[in-house]
Chains A and B, each alone.
Chain A
């Protein structure tokens, strides 16, 4: 079992930015229309933000305000699919026997976002980039709780997924729209999660786990389950 507090959260998806936007969405969750909109990251100097993909912009836009005022804040970055548009561009160039873009190549690795985060914030705390299955939220939380148990006063967890290029549509079916969720975690007993390993009869969550969590943060449901493959994560909130 792991336990923690969610001291603050931020989320972004095309058209959904404020708490009120997410409140409205979570009351009637729906797939958002396809959009190329990217969040505002004008708090970064132009020379620094110019290479940021939308995935990176999403991560920065939810993470930056949560990190405000924290001198040293470990970061756990979780994304199942990562920079699929960059990967696809690079593979397309390879297939066409074109030279690869050094910028695309250098930023296509899974820990590129935390590297940029570290450079732009001058942050040298522990940072981890993980790619888990559909329960990346819970795996990210385990990682974050390990850092809290080691004595970190707070840990930032950012979960983000980009809309994959159409060519991957056949294989990637768990990204209804691009989104990012940032959770500022602190030690505490507000939330407890335990893992069970028999998912028989338990349906998969209707939305990606981090979006489903947002719904429950907003409707204040005391307990819920997230099942992925044979793993059942039992969420319990102390009200």
Chain B
């Protein structure tokens, strides 16, 4: 799980071109969008795509809880784990 979190952090950095940020700069519970890391709506789409490609899972963009899954790295890791187990 902790490896998954750091993998997701690296994925965020690579997929979104955050050249001046390293894995250790992103907190597990840090808010990703808006405040916190300061990502925007295009980043949300890009990250959704990267997660789907990397982990072979489907994300329903219209599902109500999708927004919650993307709130921070810990919630994303829990989401990926649950999806992969399903």
Task: Kindly list chain B residues whose C-beta atoms are within 8 Å of the C-beta of A50.
Answer: 16-19
Per a CB cutoff under 8 Å, which of A46, A47, A101 touches B49? A101
Contacts of B1-54 to chain A: CB distance below 8 A: 16-20, 38, 42, 45-46, 49, 52-53
Q: Which of A51, A98, A99, A106 contacts B17 (CB 8 A)?
A: A51
A103 within 8 A of B: yes
Known: A46-B20, A47-B38. A102 touches B45 (CB 8 A): yes
A103 to B16, CA, bound (A): 9
Minimal beta-carbon separation of A64 from chain B (angstroms):
19
The answer on a CB contact under 8 Å between B52 and A103 is: no
A47–B13 CA distance with the chains assembled, in angstroms? 12
For the residues of B in contact with A, the DSSP-based class is helix
Residues of B within 8 A of A106 (CB): 42
CA of A28 to CA of B57, assembled, Å: 57
Which residues of B have CB within 8 Å of A101? 46, 49
Do residues A102 and B38 form an inter-chain contact, with CB atoms below 8 A? no
Alpha-carbon distance between A51 and B41 when the two chains are bound, in angstroms = 13
Interface string of A95-120 (1 = CB under 8 A from B): 00011011100100000000000000
Residue of A nearest to B38 (CB): A47
Residue on A nearest B44 in the bound complex, by CB = A102
